[in-house]
Chains A and B, each alone.
Chain A
């Protein structure tokens, strides 16, 4: 019983080691080149494979190639939002300063990938369904997800006190996470024009390997690129915070009255 508080405090303590800006910049500086290099390498294989070397679908024809981008964008939009919710919970429970910054930098990138998911879905829908947009449950819940991303990005920047903005954003992120199961299961709960999940289990997918492998390669490459962009933005934000602190300290020194002892 006596060691229960220390056990509970351990994850928070180990996470707070990364709250030190110097340590975070050093560690992320080491990881970032590998992350970016891996993203370029995987995409250099995955994109030509998807665009040129994978076979056309027997029903969709060449339009199936849009799926190699649309599906990763959808997964990133949802996975990224789950990450935002986890980071927000960490920020609220453990007051982790980097979790706030990461959430603030994640939401514009999340909004961008969700917009790309909607745009590529629309570009696929027109030749396949004959419509750019339908108000079915999957499309509508992804549109709601897009507004949640945008709302988070706007809310955290809407307050003069950044801490208050981060707290409000964290609450919105946690409430918005309720939309994730709606997005995921909308195709099962309602009768939608959008097809059900094709990849429910990796060992028994409803996709042929000629389509599955380039899809997984593109997903890995785009996920690595997403992570690299977010990490780069968080590094920039950490440095900007340090710049503001240094500038404030300099301004305080310049405004400070001369010391009494200095007159004698």
Chain B
């Protein structure tokens, strides 16, 4: 693999990895918030 292709490969890995990391953290945070909110609202309803 030439130096040019190395630079291309690293660029794609950085951008795709960066977006994957942003998406994964957002999905995990969203799922956690949804779970806690569902638990709190079920607890609140009978009261």
Chain A residues proximal to chain B, CB less than 8 Å: 47, 51, 61-63, 65-66, 69-70, 73, 109, 112-113, 115-116, 119-120, 123-124, 126-127, 222, 225, 228-229, 232-233, 235-236, 239-240, 242-243, 246-247, 250
Main secondary structure of the interface of B (DSSP, over half): helix
Q: Could you name 19 residue pairs across A and B whose Cβ atoms are closer than 8 Å?
A: A47-B12, A47-B16, A51-B8, A61-B4, A66-B8, A113-B18, A116-B15, A120-B15, A127-B3, A228-B23, A229-B19, A229-B23, A232-B23, A233-B29, A236-B29, A239-B36, A242-B37, A246-B37, A246-B41
CB-CB nearest in chain B for A62: B4
Q: Give Cα distance in the complex from A53 to B14, angstroms.
A: 20
Q: Give Cα distance in the complex from A250 to B43, angstroms.
A: 10
Q: Give Cα distance in the complex from A61 to B10, angstroms.
A: 16
Residue total for B at the interface (Cβ-Cβ under 8 A)? 28
- Minimum distance in angstroms from B44 CB to a CB of chain A: 7
Q: Give Cα distance in the complex from A243 to B38, angstroms.
A: 9
- Minimum distance in angstroms from B33 CB to a CB of chain A: 4
Which residues of chain B are within 8 angstroms of A127 by Cβ–Cβ distance? 3-4, 7
Q: Give Cα distance in the complex from A85 to B44, angstroms.
A: 38
Q: Which of A116, A127, A236 has the most CB of B within 10 A?
A: A236
With A112-B18, A116-B18, A246-B44: A62-B37 Cβ-Cβ less than 8 Å: no
Q: Give Cα distance in the complex from A77 to B25, angstroms.
A: 20
Q: Which 4 A-B pairs have the closest CB atoms?
A: A239-B33, A232-B26, A236-B30, A236-B29
CB-CB nearest in chain A for B31: A236
Q: Give Cα distance in the complex from A73 to B44, angstroms.
A: 44
Which of B12, B18, B27 contacts A51, CB < 8 Å?
Answer: B12
Q: Report yes or no: B7 in contact with A66, Cβ–Cβ below 8 A.
A: yes
Q: Report yes or no: A232 in contact with B8, Cβ–Cβ below 8 A.
A: no
- Minimum distance in angstroms from B38 CB to a CB of chain A: 10
If A66-B11, A69-B15, A116-B15 are given as contacts, then 11 extra A-B residue pairs at C-beta distance below 8 Å, sorted by A number, are: A62-B8, A63-B7, A66-B8, A120-B15, A127-B3, A232-B26, A233-B29, A239-B33, A243-B33, A246-B41, A250-B40
Which residues of chain B are within 8 angstroms of A126 by Cβ–Cβ distance? 7
Q: Give Cα distance in the complex from A215 to B29, angstroms.
A: 32
Which residues of chain B are within 8 angstroms of A246 by Cβ–Cβ distance? 37, 40-41, 44
